[in-house]
Amino acid sequence: MSSRKQNRSAFTLIELLVVIAIIAILIGLLLPAVQKVREAAARTQDRNNLTNLGKALHNHASTYNGKLPVNGKAVVVQGASAARSVFFQLLPYVEQDNVYQQGVTGYTAIVPVYVSPMDFTTTSGSAVTNYAGNSTLFATGTVPALPRSFNPNGTSNTVIFANRYGTCPTALMLWSDTANGYTLFNASALPQFGLAQASCNYALAQGFNSATVNVCMGDGSVRGVSPAVSLTTWGYVNNPANPIPIPSDWAE
């Protein structure tokens, strides 16, 4: 029986370099697409969080005869009374009643619905919130109510929550903090859009990019604030008692 020698083909160095170059080009083409998918998913999650905060606020109001939570209100938990933040008071309505029942000891808990995947400043493991409440609603002496205090423009034209960095510029915006600037945004000053972290003002609403600031309206809908919004219009959409018709160009 005769044996045949079979020649084995092998890549030459040039062929190998060509293959590597092709793979590199393909990776270069795929990475932007993957990044866009991640960004889109992060935006969707951010908006879902705001929607859930809106639902939580309405459920809280239904429990307390329409009244909204007040930042720093004394709340009794497990027999102990202490000043609690708006976000602490909303815990039972975002499926975090176990954290609520822990009282002060639960302040270090990470609450998923309070964290936005769009925020590059948030340190993993920090109990921060990427959302701030409207100071006109949650830091007043007279407790507003849903929907009867939202006149004449209604709940659909009033901002209740807005995006905000979790670390601003170096301080952590803890959801449990009762300091108004840490859990509420100043409704009389314009939001910051796509700023460098060092320029962050923790008392303001902030967008995670230069294009928009996501906000939750009083009816639970989510909208994007345009960078072209004027201070006058921004003041209108943050005032539940605003009597002036709101221009339509303030949002995306």
Listed residue (250, 222, 249, 224) closest to 235, CA to CA: 250
Q: Give pLDDT tens digits for 15-54.
A: 777 788 778 887 777 667 656 667 778 889 999 999 999 9
Listed residue (58, 39, 33, 53) closest to 145, CA to CA: 58
Q: Are 50 and 90 in contact (CB under 8 A)?
A: no
What is the DSSP code string of 164-177?
A: --SBSSSSB-BTT-
Q: What is the pLDDT of residue 2?
A: 47
φ/ψ bin of 212: left (φ > 0), alpha (ψ from -120 to 50), beta (otherwise)? beta
Helix (H) or strand (E) holding 136: helix 135-138
Q: What is the pLDDT of residue 35?
A: 63
Predicted TM-score (pTM) of this structure? 0.85
Question: Which amino acid would we find at residue 56?
Answer: A
Q: What is the mean pLDDT of the chain?
A: 88
- Residue 160 makes CB contacts below 8 A (sequence gap 6+) with 53, 54, 57, 133, 134, 137, 215, 216, 217, 218
Q: Give pLDDT tens digits for 71-117.
A: 999 999 988 899 999 999 999 999 999 999 998 888 999 999 999 99
Q: Identify the band that residue 9 occupies on the pLDDT scale cut at 50, 70 and 90.
A: low
Q: Give pLDDT tens digits for 166-207.
A: 999 999 999 999 988 899 999 999 999 988 888 999 999 999
Q: What is the pLDDT of residue 1?
A: 47
Express as a percent the part of the chain with pLDDT over 70. Answer: 92
Q: What is the pLDDT of residue 14?
A: 79
